Amino acid sequence: MKKSIVIIFLLPLITFAQANKFFRQGERATDLKEKIDLFSQAIELEPKHLDAYFQRAVAKDNIGDYHGAILDYTKVLFYEPDADSYYNRGNSKYKLSDFVGAIEDYTKALELDPEFLAARYSLGFTKYELQDYEGAVEELSKFLQAFPESDTALRQRAFAYSALKKPLLALRDFTFTILINPTSEAFYNRGTAYMDINYYQEANNDFHKAIRIDKTNAPAYFFRGASHFFLGEYDKAISDFNTAISFDSLDFDAVFGLALTYYKMGDLEKAKLQFEKTIRILKTTSENKEGINLFKNTYWFLNQYYTFYDNYQKLSGL
């Protein structure tokens, strides 16, 4: 009888040891599906093996099974709420575009660990996705207090400032990103901010630098063309618009830019041709829209309305 009692008491220990064996094998495995299988075996033997749930969730997230990852993180949080699990579950929700759910999880992570800077960073980005630009600025500013040289956080805060119609603050942050990491994208971003306040020469300089660094930066050609247009440098504008179109033949903004430029140069035949081409392209992407409504999602309508409207009327009369 005593031997039977000893065996009964040893069984849970043996089971737990076997579960840990599978768990350690899962940690060492390099194939994600194998990792998931090993962690699952550990969980089958020890249903409250929270480390196995956590690591299985990480592996599921890495193979794109975000729903599965969320379920596993939720299991961990049910028994032992912790900042890492909330943060990781927030990331899985973000990847599913569940931004509200992601914000809830990042906020929980910060409640448990106010110094969790990765959660602060992600919270700022997610608030931006939900167009809470003030909230994005607030969270990213807190993150930047600890990491003032994070070019990605500065760039995102600059976008938020731009959305809040605070161009000078946006320009400041874009300039800092250039000082930290002078990429083609960094110069391009600052160039678009200069365009927003009609600093066309400064914008042109930045687009030129963006293209010099990366000659495949197609949007930079369009915007450099637009800056040339507003500077009255029509031949250069035509060259850049044509280059943008060589990257994307359906770039209606660049095609309309050609129509505007040819009209300013007095070449009405080419202006009419490009204007009609713009309309054909827009009709392939817009349903049940006619006339000026076709242009409502173009750069010219959204950002240069007075120039657009005045010349639209003239081009329509050709």
Domain range holding 149? Answer: 91-181
In a domain, 70, yes or no: yes
Across the chain, mean pLDDT equals: 93
The domain total for the chain is 2
Report the pLDDT averaged over residues 260-269. 97
Angle between helix 252-265 and 268-285 (nearest 10): 160
The encoded tokens of residue 182 equal: 């002078």
To which residue do tokens 């927003």 refer? 196
The encoded tokens of residue 97 equal: 């575009």
Report the pLDDT averaged over residues 37-51. 88
The CATH number of the domain holding residue 108 is 1.25.40.10
The model's confidence at residue 46, banded by pLDDT at 50, 70 and 90, is confident
Residue 117 and residue 37 in one domain = no
The model's confidence at residue 14, banded by pLDDT at 50, 70 and 90, is low
CA distance 162 to 147: 21
Q: Which of 60, 98, 99, 52 is nearest to 76 (CA)?
A: 52
The pLDDT value recorded for residue 39 is 85
The pLDDT value recorded for residue 9 is 45
| Boundary-marking domain end, from 55, 80, 105 | 80
Q: What is the pLDDT of residues 107-119, one digit of tens each?
A: 999 999 999 999 9
pTM over 0.85: yes
CA distance 155 to 289: 35
Does 290 have pLDDT greater than 90? Answer: no
- Output the CA angle 59-65-67, nearest 5 degrees: 115
The amino acid at residue 49 is: H
Q: What is the pLDDT of residues 155-182, one digit of tens each?
A: 999 999 999 999 999 999 999 999 999 9
| Boundary-marking domain end, from 58, 80, 102 | 80
- 168 three-state secondary structure: helix
The pLDDT value recorded for residue 22 is 74
In a domain, 116, yes or no: yes
In a domain, 44, yes or no: yes
Higher local confidence (pLDDT), 121 or 12: 121
In a domain, 42, yes or no: yes
118 burial class (0-12, 13-18, 19+ CB within 10 angstroms)?
Answer: middle
- Cβ(121)–Cβ(141) under 8 Å? no
CA distance 252 to 123: 35
Residue 135 and residue 158 in one domain = yes
The model's confidence at residue 286, banded by pLDDT at 50, 70 and 90, is confident
Q: What is the DSSP string of 220-257?
A: HHHHHHHHHHHTT-HHHHHHHHHHHHHH-TT-HHHHHH
The pLDDT value recorded for residue 174 is 98
Q: What is the pLDDT of residues 76-121, one digit of tens each?
A: 999 999 999 999 999 999 999 999 999 999 999 999 999 999 999 9
The pLDDT value recorded for residue 11 is 47
Does 6 have pLDDT greater than 80? Answer: no
In a domain, 68, yes or no: yes
